[in-house]
Structure 1
């Protein structure tokens, strides 16, 4: 029967080696999270993100199950060491520093984590009490050390979840102590020349202004004496060029990600640094105690696993210490500490800068570990491209499979969407537009845009008031989503018709590119990120409009011949908006312009899109093409900035956990410009 241990199948293997498998799996999951968790800051490949989510979910489940298994099972004669593994499972439940919450809701459930903490600590303590005495004094002492480390790290994780809760952040701001923020300015001026690169300067500047970002995310007003404490820095930001402003906003959001989804809020305190210094020392002491203990009677496999757990714990804890000391958050800690000798020793001497550069090189093992800035990508989704796709006989095989299981809408969203890098031209344009809104007093005292989406742009071009501009006014819709659908279709139809009449010159082509990018991005938000749009959802209207467009082009596309290209499309996994599909999209746009559908409840918004196209073509005849393109660009920018301004703070915070969103960057930028205008108001009066 003993031979059956290995030959009896998976069940016998599990019965004899289950706890060994579980503790090694728990360690492997911790290493995976440690290495890959930071990719979420900039977004990541969907497959890698799914693996990260699975690892995050399984890490706690595995450790909890293993602790339960240890507390309930009876120890075999040659398995005395397994009790020593309980503190390591507690340490694993504390998790790596780079991830505490996968979603924002995890922070809201910190009380549940606190309850689990109590149960698991009692469980680990019970395992040690029941079994550890059989392992000798050295192992018992090592167990107490590791149990203490595991307990403290687990408590720290729960505290980080609580600190990352939006309600906690809001409450903490009410009692925020006075911080000598002028130290940031003085030290940064002195270190600017010695900073490793320009980005390092903006990281430090972002830390000095981070209190503004924190107040913005929880919708809390700036402090009463803000002008004396931080006004000078805020005014300096106005002089930043668009690239510097974008970099600053991206770093600010990266810092916000840290306090919401990692342990940053609890690490960079005196208790946090103390834990990171003591933890690797305690682990080394435990390793030495175990090395000198008498383990001759223990299984060699169990001894090897114990050394693996100790070595893995030391490497993770030591790397965490280095990462913490070399983090930009430590710069904040040193700037604001009351111990002037420490600030002088670390910062003024340049020693911390040297340590930071060293740590940057060492911690490159962490994927995305030094990527402070946002990915700079924006989603793209084109309704006309979706509806002008080939006949269903040539749709991708996975698409037909998704339709069979009722996931056709999900497939269309994923298959026909994509991402592009934001161009410098678009960054410059958006920066100018937001700055102009605040300079022209287009926002109220609460920082909210005074007019609805698109209204300000139409008024600026004198296309809003008057009977002759009724088509423009009606095209904005009752709800934001309705206006996006109408303008998305109308824009594509106008651009297709206008370009076929006469090709665009180089300057016009640049404006057209910005228009298409913003139009496709707003449709991407409507389809893929509806929670980022203010107002009522219009899912049914979108689906009905798509079906109307599909019905219009069915007869046209059904007569096309079969080609090798169509056969290849059977195996396409992705078909995002790209130049290779412009012909089909423009054909559908021209068809819409030719047929000119009138008002009908069957095609509720195609008629409005047609009337909008007619109005735009009329403006092109009366004025010039560039003026109409500028009008369209202004309208789409107004849509985009309005969306960023009116999106809920919680939705912005949630998207940070998945790489961030363009609208979040624009929202924060607008908030900074608004606070600048508030500080200017007393001077102008």
Structure 2
């Protein structure tokens, strides 16, 4: 009991001090994690970032309320000053104004909180000894009052900036795109593209500048329709506008990666919503306030050293130390915020486009290689992986999965534990670029266009005979997207198993291709299992769950054992059509007599096991130089492109907060394809074979 009383006493005496330091620590955490989350794909990082984001406002608001209730503290004159610092903390860090897209929709709530908390901070200052009659009118009093007022104003402005950034991100383009000219009365806005006549641009700066110049295209996709149609024209040296401006597909892919980062900044940071005057004035006011506080604290330290206690300026040592930490921390955070604004590509683009002071900003950015950093860390550059056969084998042998079954969280747990991420390989980028190049010039309404085909265009280009033999595996009229993913995922696993046994030892050069194909297969299944919102709205996980239950009913000891079992099933379907294949079932689950019927009725399992047997047969008869592995990879790229063009804008935006997705990069790329902004590669035509 005595311990509890002592704890309560300590909390009453030092609770505010502890909370203020916790609030500052959370701001530092947000600064670091907010920068990392765009380029690091980690569930642990997301957990800590989310926790810090949720706690930051709560701690600051609770502390302000505690200070308002506590009233004037005679022995802690500096405590009231911290109310201004807490307002600055509520303003948040420039690189993370929102954690999720849902936070931007709550900007009105934040506006209400802004009014209430500014009023609470003003009350704390009014009721404190800083502005009370007992404070006196001496030199120390004046310094403290001016510094407090300046920090209070800075905090209110920063909090207002945050609310404005949330409102800016939540609105449609027509409502928030106010920095652009008004083209509401025009049907077309012709944007001149004079970049080719600016030889001073290195490649990295060219890509970043181009990403900003054409940013209205992804804005049109993610934020809603623009109030005007944009047409890009190439500008000649004399100022005349020539034919349509077109991009090389490889440069367009790099630009799309940069635009993923730019759209992240628009939705989740203050990057685009900040105004230069406000930014500079806020930094100057912070600098003046911190300088005054430094003079005040140095004067207090000198008085204490000389045993001069007249005037009551011998502040509590702990309060002085905390004030120093808050002041130095606020100064460092403000300097970093100002540098981020100065070196921001948004700020650079504004000045570069209007030719204002670009000779100052461009050399600064080149000095720190800002454009190279923007490109390198534009998004996570990773792709999730989820393997159906591995998760089923793990589910059979793992004790944690068995525990999850008892807790009724089996699906969630297996998806979480059996998912991982890998870097997007250069070969996968090349495969995507090549597929897009082959679609340049093809009518968008054609069923063979990459946006409409789910693999059958690849089979057609390969050969009519192959298409006739395998069209049942890609026919969109008979198969849903989730069934196509499951069929080709099983087929890919079984084919790669055979390929590694029979061919890989003689063809080491194709090892990278095999890894890329497997990565694409696992990525599409990852989207279906873990992030179905990134697929077309009609896509359902039910087929995936049914497949998992079906495969876990078989008797096997490992993923390799299950692979060989399904290969035998596929061989039986090919060599003895119509015969019944007897699967070894785990009899402890259910009676095997009902399983035979369920397995026979599982279309995805039937076709997924039959397909690799057909592919292996075609491989043995292949007379052309192209390899069957390339065909499988191209089918996966077409499936990925099909899904990217039909994923909802909300899902793309939501995933930006977690570092972005490869499917979002491809969606941006196809926006340029739809607008006829990509060059047709002369060496590649739509009629090219695999």
TM-score, normalised via structure 2 length: 0.81
Question: Which of residues 313, 316, 320 is equivalent to 1:299?
Answer: 316
C-alpha displacement of 1:91: 0.8
C-alpha distance in 1, partners of 2:208/2:9? 55
The equivalent position to 1:356 in structure 2, one of 365, 368, 371, is 365
- The Cα shift of 1:258 comes to 0.9
Q: Which residue of 1 aligns with 2:83?
A: 86
Residue 175 to residue 331, structure 1, CA distance change in 2 (3 Å): closer
Which residue in 1 is equivalent to 2:684? none
Q: 2:483 is matched with which residue?
A: 482
Corresponding residue of 1:593:
570
Q: How does 1:653-672 map to 2 (within 5 A)?
A: 653-672=653-672
Partner residue in 1 for 2:279: 272
How much has 1:129 moved relative to structure 2?
1.5
Determine the structure 2 residue equivalent to 1:67.
Answer: 64
Contact (CA 8 Å) 2:233, 2:243: kept in 1 or not? Answer: no
Deviations 1:289-342 (A, max 9, x none): 5655765343221122222222211221122112211222221121244xx6xx
Aligned match of 1:434: 436
Q: Corresponding residue for 2:358?
A: 347
CA distance in 2, matches of 1:331, 1:89: 31
Within 2, Cα distance between the matches of 1:220 and 1:268?
A: 25
For the 8 Å contact 2:444–2:674, the answer to whether it is kept is: no
Deviations 1:590-612 (A, max 9, x none): 24325646794445131222343
Residues 1:92 and 1:518: Cα distance change in structure 2 (over 3 Å)? same
Q: Does 1:41 align with 2:38?
A: yes
Residues 381 and 523 in structure 1, CA contact (< 8 A), matched pair in contact too:
yes
Change (3 A) 1:191 1:181: farther
The answer to whether the Cα contact below 8 Å between 1:183 and 1:335 also exists between their aligned partners in 2 is no
Mapped partners of 1:448, 1:275: distance in 2:
53
Aligned length: 629
Contact 2:386 2:526 in 1 (8 A): yes
Alpha-carbon offset, residue 74 of structure 1: 3.5
Do structure 1's residue 168 and structure 2's residue 172 form an aligned pair? Answer: yes
- Which stretch of the first structure deviates more once superposed, 436-445 or 138-147? 436-445
Bigger shift: 398-407 or 373-382?
398-407
SS of the counterpart of 2:116?
helix
Give 1:260's aligned residue.
Answer: 267
Residue in structure 1 matched with residue 105 of structure 2 by the alignment: 108
* Alpha carbons of structure 1 residues 336 and 527: separation in structure 2 relative to 1, 3 Å: same
Ranges in structure 1 where 5+ consecutive residues have no aligned partner: 558-580, 681-685
Q: 1:678 to 1:48 in 2, by over 3 A?
A: closer
Say what the alpha-carbon RMSD is for the aligned residues.
Answer: 3.7
In the alignment, which residue of structure 2 is the partner of 1:641? 641
2:131 aligns with 133
Pairing 1:574-589 to 2, within 5 Å after superposition: 583-584=560-561, 586-589=563-566
Provide the secondary structure at the position in 2 that maps to 1:380. strand
Cα offsets for 1:468-488 (capped at 9, x unmatched): 656335688532112111221
Per the alignment, residue 562 of structure 1 pairs with: none
Within-5 A mapping of 1:463-478: 471-472=472-473, 478=479
Q: Does 1:312 align with 2:319?
A: no
Q: How does 1:387-426 map to 2 (within 5 A)?
A: 387-389=392-394, 391-392=396-397, 395=398, 398-426=400-428
Counterpart residue number, 1:576: none
Residues 518, 531 of structure 1: alpha-carbon distance in 2 compared, 3 angstrom cutoff: same
Cα separation, partners in 2 of 1:499 and 1:22, compared to 1, 3 Å:
closer
Q: Distance in 1 between matches of 2:408 and 2:312?
A: 59
Q: Distance in 2 between matches of 1:429 and 1:600?
A: 40
Match for 1:97 among 87, 94, 97? 94
* Cα displacement string for residues 29-59 of structure 1 (whole angstroms, at most 9, x for unaligned residues): 1112122311111124322321121111111
Aligned to 1:567: none
User: CA 1:229 to 1:10, structure 2 compared with 1: closer, same or farther past 3 Å?
Assistant: farther
Equivalent in the alignment of 1:520: 522
Query: Equivalent residues in 2 for 1:487-526 (5 A)?
Result: 487-497=488-498, 500=501, 503=504, 505-506=507-508, 509-526=511-528
Report the counterpart of residue 12 of structure 2 in structure 1. Answer: 15
**d(CA) in 1 for partners of 2:224 and 2:299?**
57
In the TM superposition, residue 638 of structure 1 has moved relative to its aligned partner by 1.2
Structure 2 SS opposite 1:266: coil
Mean Cα displacement is larger for which, 464-473 or 452-461?
Answer: 464-473
Is residue 435–residue 673 contact of structure 1 (8 Å, CA) maintained in 2? no
TM (norm. structure 1) is 0.82
SS of residue in 2 equivalent to 1:374: coil
SS of the aligned residue for 1:419 comes to strand
How far apart, CA to CA, are the structure 2 residues paired with 1:502 and 1:679? Answer: 37
Residue in structure 2 matching 1:211, options 210, 216, 229: 216
My pick for the range that moved more, 671-680 or 114-123, is 671-680
| Alignment CA distance shift 1:506-1:221 (3 Å) | farther
Q: Which runs of 5+ in 2 are unaligned?
A: 184-188, 301-310, 574-579, 582-595, 681-690
Task: Tell me the secondary structure at the aligned position of residue 489 of structure 2.
Answer: helix
Structure-2 change in CA distance of 1:69 and 1:661 (3 Å) = same
3-state SS of the aligned residue for 1:164?
A: helix
Q: Distance in 1 between matches of 2:407 and 2:95?
A: 37
Residue 224 of structure 1, CA deviation: 4.0
Cα separation, 1, equivalents of 2:243 and 2:34: 32
C-alpha distance in 1 between matches for 2:190 and 2:288: 34
Mapping of residues 145-224 of structure 1, within 5 Å: 145-165=150-170, 167-173=171-177, 176-177=180-181, 185=194, 189-192=198-201, 198-220=203-225, 223-224=228-229
Which structure has greater helix proportion? Answer: 1
Partner Cα distance (1:450, 1:314) in 2: 51
Per-residue CA deviations over 1:603-639 (Å, capped at 9, x if unaligned) read 5131222343344345345545855434323321211
Are positions 1:249 and 2:256 aligned together? yes
Q: Report how far residue 252 of structure 1 moved.
A: 1.4
